[in-house]
Amino acid sequence: MTLHRRDVVRQLLAERGNTLVVAGLGASAWDVAAAGDDDRNFYLWGAMGGAAMVGLGLALDNGRYGETGMQPSHTAGPTRLAAVASACGIDATYDIENDADLDGLMRALAAQTDLLFARVAIAPEELPRVLPERDGRRLKARFRAAISVGGERMAGG
């Protein structure tokens, strides 16, 4: 059984609490936007490979390079992302394959205060784009305002 990406993201964010979200460029950003816009969402429209460094945590895995034509990716072969994360020293890793696993991840997310990695197996499907705000400065400013870190400046003119 394989999960559907939009459903997974909508479910994970249904009760988001204080969750801050950094979405990678392309389909990941459309998924997060489709679940409902929020000032605490930061969507990358570029900066490929940057999402995991700006934020940290969740990987939706369909074994494809979706933005360039759905060519098979390394995870369609032998690469197991949760094992990679574990080998990098992340203790809490999850391989999510079905709804029961997803429920477990929801509970783990609610209790987790440290770094967590979850890889969610999703169907390789092409969905209508849901485009969020694309003004980078506005995205940055509203995110910082939402977590109350905006406004501070060094002294001096």
Partner 1 sequence: MHHLTDAPENADWPSHIHAVFIRAVPLTTEEEGVALAAGAWLGGDRSALLMQSSGVGNCVNMLAMTRTCRFPLLMLVTMRGEFEEFNPWQVPMGTSAQSVLQLAGLDVRRVDDAGSVEPAVEWAAEQAFGHDAAVAVLLSQRLIGRKEWVR
Judged by CB, which is closer to partner 1: 10, or 144? 144
| 136 belongs to the binding site for partner 1 (CB under 8 A) | yes
Judged by CB, which is closer to partner 1: 128, or 156? 156
41 three-state secondary structure: strand
Judged by CB, which is closer to partner 1: 3, or 41? 41
Kind and range of the H or E run holding 121? strand 116-121
Q: For residues 105 and 3, is the Cβ–Cβ distance under 8 A?
A: no
| 59 belongs to the binding site for partner 1 (CB under 8 A) | no
- Exactly one of 53, 77, 78, 107 binds partner 1 (CB under 8 A); which one? 53
- Exactly one of 14, 36, 47, 99 binds partner 1 (CB under 8 A); which one? 47
The tokens for 28 are: 């990941």
Judged by CB, which is closer to partner 1: 48, or 83? 48
Q: For residues 57 and 117, is the Cβ–Cβ distance under 8 A?
A: yes
Instruction: Return d(Cα 153, Cα 2) in angstroms, integer.
Output: 48
Longest dimension (CA), the chain: 60
Q: Tell me the closest approach of the beta carbon of residue 92 to partner 1, in angstroms.
A: 20
